[in-house]
Amino acid sequence: MITNTNNAVCFRPSRVEGIADVDEVCVSRDALEIVAAGKHLTFPFLDFARGREIATGRVPVGELHFSKSSYTNSHFVFYMTPRIVIFMPADEPTTYPNSHFWRVQAILRDGGFKLYEDGPPKLPPIVLDPRPARTIAYVMAALAFAWAYALAGFLPGMAGAVWRDHLLWNSGNPSISLAFMLPAIAIPITLALRHGRTARAVTMIIATSYVIAMLSQFAMRHVIHPWAAIEQPPFNRPFWSAHQFGSMLIVVVIAAIFGFTWRRAFLEPIARGSDAKTANK
């Protein structure tokens, strides 16, 4: 028998799927405990949770389904392997705030966890992988694409001529501008999405992305200058100008804010094992 305390909700479910011969279940702030066939089983939530919601700071561990027609058909699904489905007891309070259905949710919220209502999201949220090596690879990929787009103008023969015409045909908005602006868009979005945990981090991301984008454009202009002197007529787009610096900064800031906002739709990794409880505080 598991002791019912203020920090746990214990009851005998009407039925359970996933484990046979269940006598009692207990949901605490950090684990699901089950007495089945004389054995006491403990399933810490952090052992099977995929990640922590960036938007709410809570850790999804399952889902809830409430039945208006029959309280005993109301149940929780916990995301263990295999999944465990726990149905509400038949002889206990069935209304808020005394029902086990509501008390379990309150206990989980106190522990920093949550249950999806009426099933998981249609598109399961992705757990971000913050490894620096992968971030560097994404940044280098964005730079490589931008430079390949511009340097294709050096292709020999007809291929190079056709590509240079594509890049420069519109003097008011030449397509070569994409090579200049892509790092200013892709890099801050990538960095803010993967590492923009705080306002300070986003500020550092904006500064870093701005420097990378400006250096990339400065170097690219020098490389393609033999056939694309865009600071001269008919383009008249000098690099050293307040308009150029200000426009690039605005683009970088907007891209970083977009990445930071987009980040809230993802899960972040959570610590496992001995560090899990410390990380959850």
Tell me the per-residue pLDDT of 62-92, one tens digit each, with 9 for 90 and over: 999 999 889 999 999 999 999 999 999 988 7
Q: How far apart are CA 4 and CA 67, in angstroms?
A: 25
Write out pLDDT tens, residues 156-183: 999 999 999 999 999 999 999 999 999 9
Q: Which of 31, 25, 21 is nearest to 12 (CA)?
A: 25
CA 224 from centre of chain: 38
pLDDT in tens, 8-39: 999 999 999 999 999 999 999 999 999 999 89
pLDDT class of 273 with cuts at 50, 70, 90: low
Domains of the chain: 8-117 (2.30.29), 132-265 (no CATH)
**What number is the average pLDDT over the span 151-159?**
96
* pLDDT score, position 280: 42
Give residue for tokens 């005394």: 98
Distance CA 24, CA 7 (A): 16
Asked if 178 and 184 touch (Cβ cutoff 8 Å), the reply is no
Given 3-state DSSP classes, what are the helix, strand and coil percentages for the chain, each rounded to the nearest 5?
45, 20, 35
Burial 125-145 (b: 16+ CB within 10 A, else e): beebeeeeeebeebbeebbee
Report the predicted TM-score, pTM, of the whole model to 2 decimal places: 0.83
The residue with tokens 């002889």 is 91
| Residue the block writes with tokens 């800031």 | 253
Confirm if 76 and 86 have CB atoms less than 8 A apart.
yes
d(CA 104, CA 277): 20
pLDDT in tens, 251-267: 999 999 999 999 999 99
